Amino acid sequence: MRQIGHFIDGQSLSEPGGRKADVFNPATGEAIAQVSLAPAETVHQAIEAAQAAFPAWRATPPAKRAQVMFRFKQLLEDNADAICAMISEEHGKVLNDALGELQRGIENVEFACGMPQLLKGEHSRNVGPAIDAWSEFQPLGVVAGITPFNFPAMVPLWMWPSAIMCGNTFVLKPSEKDPTSAMFIASLASEAGLPNGVLNVVNGDKEAVDTLLHAPEVKAISFVGSTPIAEYIYQTASANGKRCQALGGAKNHAIVMPDADLNNAVNALMGAAYGSCGERCMAISVAVAVGDEVADALVAKLKAEVEQLKVGPGSDNTNHMGPLISQPHQQKVLSYIDAGVEAGAELVCDGRTLKVDGHEQGYFVGGTLFDKVTPEMSIYTDEIFGPVLVVVRVPDMQAAVDLINSHEYGNGTCLFTRDGEAARYFVDQVEVGMVGINVPLPVPVSYHSFGGWKRSLFGDLHAYGPDSVRFYTKRKQVTQRWPSASLREGIHFSFPSNQ
């Protein structure tokens, strides 16, 4: 069986002994590899490599760092098919979906290539008599990222390209469920000319995470995952004096107004709810229908489309959905469907009955649709992270906005309407970090920043884009004056001012 170790100081590191975890192909249920779970000693080895590489990398001109990033971007494009096959085999998502993930990651590399422009700082001449002042953006040192299974290529590329372009060195802890693409991408960065130790990858579980959280050499932590873990990461990192951004869970609502283009709304909801088997933090999992007439028509159209979903292995691009990531997660999603039925929701499409010929041991769940869901039901309150869309009926738009604002999560949302006044009101009033108008997955492009509100984000700064420069640097303010015989002054005890 294939063995997966770590990538430290520019070299692949194997650990013949020690704890290991199986990596599964979720379409077949078969173990296809074993990944080493790094003990604290191995994590410290990665941190030490990053710390040793930091002085030289910090001193490397940003333009030369960017040259490495340009070569790296080209290597990602040249190896796209191989990377997507890795993602599909270990995660289960359809190859076309994997390519979309990778392309979004490449866009973040493109943004990082232009980062010298954002590191220029600010300058003011003559803030006082012959006194100049300027600010510089300096790197933090060793920083780390902890990333989830659902985007094994894209989310790491949200983090480390921007971090290292700011002059930091990086330790990445990817998900142990699908680690191969992160390891391969790290090797491409080395091939592009990234010096040894600037990027390190350690595979592991909670022991590796806790080691990163408590290591004093690690100055900042970026995290994407569930809200309970995000809160733990944020609290622990903050208690240890680290800067932290921890992106958590979501329950994303889409409001469908009476004036909406219903066919377009249904098409958009299908992709947003069932794409990647619903394993996206930006997935739409609640459709809020304004009025029973809209709800009836919406459910009827959704039912017809859900029944046509083609589900199977991700290696077949004709499929719309692949399997879920693991058997425990499959059982969790199935238990939520059971709970929805027991709570009295109307089960319109039942994904529990799905069987995929030739893949009976795969972790598949079919597209599931509930109607007449109420806010106290667990299928409404909880992030299911599966192919389950619930429809909630409300009498008017204000009730829909109130429903969204009362939920603990505030990651993404969408409004389907033709009414500009309603759209403007929605944008102003909804308490959510990323808002779409007739756009179901309002994921910001690479030169904006990604992040939710409320319990969907712990920390002050969002991921990637302009906020990444603020997160991965510290500002240094310099005030300078060169003595001049003509401007000699006496002693002053009052606080300096320009008065």
| 251-276 core/surface letters (b: 16 or more CB in 10 A; e: else) | bbbbbbbbebebeebbebbbebbbbb
Asked whether 137 and 469 are in contact (CB, 8 A), the reply is: yes
Asked whether 127 and 133 are in contact (CB, 8 A), the reply is: yes
DSSP assignment string, 113-130? HTGGGGG--EEEEEEETT
349: tokens are 């499409």
Q: How far is CA 217 from CA 13, 48, 158, 484, in A?
A: 22, 8, 22, 43
For residue 206, the one-letter residue type is: K
Angle between helices 227-239 and 206-214 (to 10 degrees): 30
Q: Calculate ∠ Cα 190-194-195, nearest 5°.
A: 105
Q: In degrees rounded to 5, what are phi and psi of residue 57? A: -70, -40
413 vs 354: CA distance, rounded Å: 29
84: annotated active-site residue: no
277, 281, 349, 414: the catalytic one is: 281
* Phi-psi label, residue 465: left if phi above 0, alpha if psi -120 to 50, beta otherwise: left
456: tokens are 């969907």
Neighbouring CB atoms inside 10 A of 63's CB total 8
Active-site residues: which are they?
281
